[in-house]
Structure 1
Amino acid sequence: MSDFLIDEELLAAIDMGSNSFHLAIARVDHGEVKKVASMSEKVQLAAGLDENNYLSEAAQQRGLACLSRFVGRLGAVPNNRLRIVATNALRQAENGDEFMQKAAEILPKPIEIIAGREEARLIYLGVSHTMANGGRRLVIDIGGGSTEFIIGEEFEPILTESLQMGCVAYTKAFFPEGEISVKAFDKAVVAARKELSAIASTYLSAGWDTVVGSSGTIKACRQILVNMGLSDDQQNVTASGLQKLKDRLLKFDHIGKIDFEGLRDDRRAVLPAGLAILSAVFEVLKIDKLAYSDGALREGVMYDLLGRFRHEDIRDRSVQAMMGRYGSDPKQAERVVQTAQKLFEDVDTALNLSSDDDDLLRRAAYLHEIGLAISHGGYHRHGAYLLQHSDIPGFSQIDQNHLSHLVAHHRRKLRHDSLLDVQKVGGKKLVFLCLLMRLAVLLNHSRSDTALPEFDLQVKNEQSWQLTISGDVKQWPLLIADLHDEQIQFKHWNVDLQIKSDQHMD
């Protein structure tokens, strides 16, 4: 990966939402992301989830067909400048792995399933880059399966939440046959109010100066209000305008009869559910008016990607924040990081490891002791649990799963069944990174600033590694004993680790 992107170079993002899939392609222009092409298709993945959260074959095929069309537009975008993110529908799908395996045959990069709060952070990033600074703002994004709420200032989110209510999910729950009634609408509003009760007091206490909405539901409601003359002078959505829109909507008895000017056909079916959610949001959060922003998740994803090229990677800030939160020893972490980097550089070519693998190993090395904040016994398991289940800005669920395995297996015995688990999650590369991590930690067992012996790691083949220690090994009896014990653990994962010395140690 290059250190920076120059003007005119392209970035792209695919946002696999619960209602629609979006593709955005942009160029970098004086540090800003300028969109040059976009595509959007109503896929409605969330509508394909059954009562057990299994994604139907029909919904999977709709998604795969859409992704195939998107890929046809990506010819000029290098893979390292593309991100593909999926949201609530794939977070919920019990058979999401099945869909992702099929998608992997189409897409040039893996899909990143992002957590709700990470989705909220990226939405805020997209909105904040497309609007002038206006003090503290509340950003609301009603999607197909979830709704995100973010309070932030300038480009920094302060509060992020994701609630389980969306226009597709609520359409299935309250308007399943397309029939519209006051009773069904009121039930949807009540359900949304219940969801909002979890965040209302915290958000109202934090406060905001302006409210901004993004994505399809809010865009559609605003456009209808503007066309009907029910918005304010700045074309904002107002509480009184929403009430009038609700009254007019309830004059229709079926979704198929809705004929508001400016409403796209693919948005008609989810309008009642979306309007019910937006009405509840206005009521519970006491909102008078709401502006609209064209920035959303896909724009945020591209700005986040741009930051990675410019050494402003949110993931590194998140790692440092976790170390501080759990009181990790920064000196020991840095020792392990430096050793891990040296080991990686010794073998990256032989094991076909990438710069992304290097970043993953480095971040895991910084975080390998966070579990000590819970208990010394089995702290590697505690650390793995924290990494698996925390909301960590910048990381996808797959990223966190990989970090979790690296921390879980950096010490104690290696079992053959855990090898199969690691291979399933991250293939051979993750296995190799786990072994490099173990060596980096082992070489720093003394927790001392005293220089380590010089060492060199060679890979004869994937199953045969050789670690050569320079100098008089008698100076390092405990280290050599630990390394010989580690040979047994490597064997459990089918790697023969040979320990050599340039003084011909046995």
Structure 2
Amino acid sequence: FKDGKITPARYAQAYTAARLEIMSIEHALHRLTWDEAIGSSGTIRAIGLALKAGGHGTGEVNAEGLAWLKRKLFKLGDVDKIDFEGIKPDRRAIFPAGLAILEAIFDALELQRMDHCEGALREGVLYDLLGRHHHEDVRERTLSSLMERYHVDLEQAVRVERKALHAFDQVAEDWELDDGVWRELLGWAAKVHEVGLDIAHYHYHKHGAYLIEHSDLAGFSREDQQMLALLVRGHRRNIPKDKFAEFGDDGIKLIRLCVLLRFAILFHHIRGTQEMPQVVLHANGDSLDVLFPDNWLDENQLTQADFGLEAEWLTRVGFTLNVR
């Protein structure tokens, strides 16, 4: 409806586009079932008010009213002629498209009635921020659900997260990581670094990165999600330096986070609750020094070999790991 003209053909095109979008999820929603449907935001509210003004309900949206409103729009033929009660002038241009989308939802989900909720996007943002203030971060709930869905070893995730954050605290200042979301990002990556194992062991770091990048993760910005996916992608074997470089100056910090994550995973490569030593980390530019207690590495040859291989992997991205 770019030029404001409303015709049955254009409306049908908008309706069809909406139905195609809904097709990918409508079957799953039908399986879930529901008792009532709630709509939020201004367009649904405006449609409900228009139906109420026309004598088709008390503010809710209903299937009969949608059909009546569609016929009325066709008679008007132009968005500038829309003068329904409750519709602000700045909403007229998007009103026909909103109606087509809502009708598509009603048909796809076989709805007869939808009530309106005053809460919408802005209230959702405030809810999220308040939740973080009261230590009820929606992002933590999101990751917990992801871990449960893909059967993550929770004990191992806790061990790796604890060690990664302890390592972070030792080097954050030297690596200029003591601002922003870096500590949280490292903790999140430690929690979910093994989600890809539920698909296949071979290249599971790539499977995990794909899942994280392409899943709907409530509470995460698109950039946070891409960074998180990249850390999971780089937590073993080769680090895709070109992918990190796409984040500009932040790419260097992300590689440093990746190094800390890899250190924590190697530290707990042998799973279990066995006593592990206290280690001291020192960071300087593109190098990380890891100091174990005297003779500990000599007595734990597998761990020593693990870190020897890791040092070789890191040299490929111009990074030096010194373990002694």
Do the structures match in fold with TM over 0.5? yes
- 2-side partners of 1:499 and 1:181: how far apart? 72
Shift of 1:210: 2.9
SS at match of 2:270: coil
Does structure 2 conserve the Cα–Cα contact (< 8 Å) formed by 1:318 and 1:392?
Answer: yes
Q: 2:43 maps to what in 1?
A: 217
- 2-side partners of 1:378 and 1:264: how far apart? 54
Q: 2:66 maps to what in 1?
A: 242
Does structure 2 conserve the Cα–Cα contact (< 8 Å) formed by 1:454 and 1:471?
Answer: no
SS at match of 1:269: helix
- 2-side partners of 1:440 and 1:200: how far apart? 42
Q: 1:429 maps to what in 2?
A: 253
TM-score by length of 1: 0.58
Q: 1:470 maps to what in 2?
A: 293
Q: 1:341 maps to what in 2?
A: 165
- 1-side partners of 2:271 and 2:24: how far apart? 45
**2:66 corresponds to 1:265:** no
Q: Which amino acid aligns with 1:489?
A: W
Change (3 A) 1:267 1:446: same
Q: 1:372 maps to what in 2?
A: 197
* The one of 217, 223, 240 aligned to 1:392: 217
SS at match of 1:412: coil
- 1-side partners of 2:29 and 2:287: how far apart? 56
SS at match of 1:271: helix
Identity %: 40
Q: Which amino acid aligns with 1:306?
A: L
Shift of 1:262: 4.0
Does structure 2 conserve the Cα–Cα contact (< 8 Å) formed by 1:340 and 1:365?
Answer: yes
Instruction: Show CA shifts across 1:229-260 (max 9, x none).
Output: 4242x432333333332222211232233333
Does structure 2 conserve the Cα–Cα contact (< 8 Å) formed by 1:222 and 1:237?
Answer: yes
SS at match of 2:59: coil
Q: 1:128 maps to what in 2?
A: none
Change (3 A) 1:321 1:202: closer
Change (3 A) 1:382 1:225: closer
Q: Which moved more, 1:200-209 or 1:210-219?
A: 200-209
* The one of 183, 187, 199 aligned to 1:358: 183
Q: Which has the higher helix share?
A: 2
SS at match of 1:178: coil
**2:237 corresponds to 1:412:** yes
Does structure 2 conserve the Cα–Cα contact (< 8 Å) formed by 1:384 and 1:407?
Answer: yes
- 2-side partners of 1:309 and 1:382: how far apart? 33
SS at match of 1:213: strand
Change (3 A) 1:443 1:219: same
- The structure 1 segments of at least 4 consecutive aligned residues displaced by more than 6 Å after TM superposition are none
Q: 2:7 maps to what in 1?
A: 181
- 1-side partners of 2:214 and 2:54: how far apart? 47
SS at match of 1:222: helix
SS at match of 1:292: strand
Q: 1:449 maps to what in 2?
A: 273
Does structure 2 conserve the Cα–Cα contact (< 8 Å) formed by 1:423 and 1:431?
Answer: no
**2:150 corresponds to 1:321:** no
- For structure 2, the residue ranges without an aligned partner over 5 or more in a row are none
Change (3 A) 1:472 1:307: same
Shift of 1:385: 2.0
Does structure 2 conserve the Cα–Cα contact (< 8 Å) formed by 1:237 and 1:291?
Answer: yes
- 2-side partners of 1:355 and 1:195: how far apart? 36
Change (3 A) 1:497 1:283: closer
Instruction: Show CA shifts across 1:63-103 (max 9, x none).
Output: xxxxxxxxxxxxxxxxxxxxxxxxxxxxxxxxxxxxxxxxx
TM-score by length of 2: 0.87
Q: 1:306 maps to what in 2?
A: 130
SS at match of 1:210: coil
- 2-side partners of 1:480 and 1:311: how far apart? 39
Where does 1:12-411 land on structure 2 (aligned, <5 Å)?
175-204=1-30, 206-226=32-52, 228-232=53-57, 234-353=58-177, 354=179, 356-411=181-236
- 2-side partners of 1:326 and 1:201: how far apart? 22
- 2-side partners of 1:497 and 1:436: how far apart? 11
Shift of 1:467: 1.4
- 2-side partners of 1:433 and 1:262: how far apart? 52
Change (3 A) 1:419 1:274: same
Shift of 1:177: 3.0
Q: Which amino acid aligns with 1:236?
A: E
Q: 1:495 maps to what in 2?
A: 319
SS at match of 1:411: coil
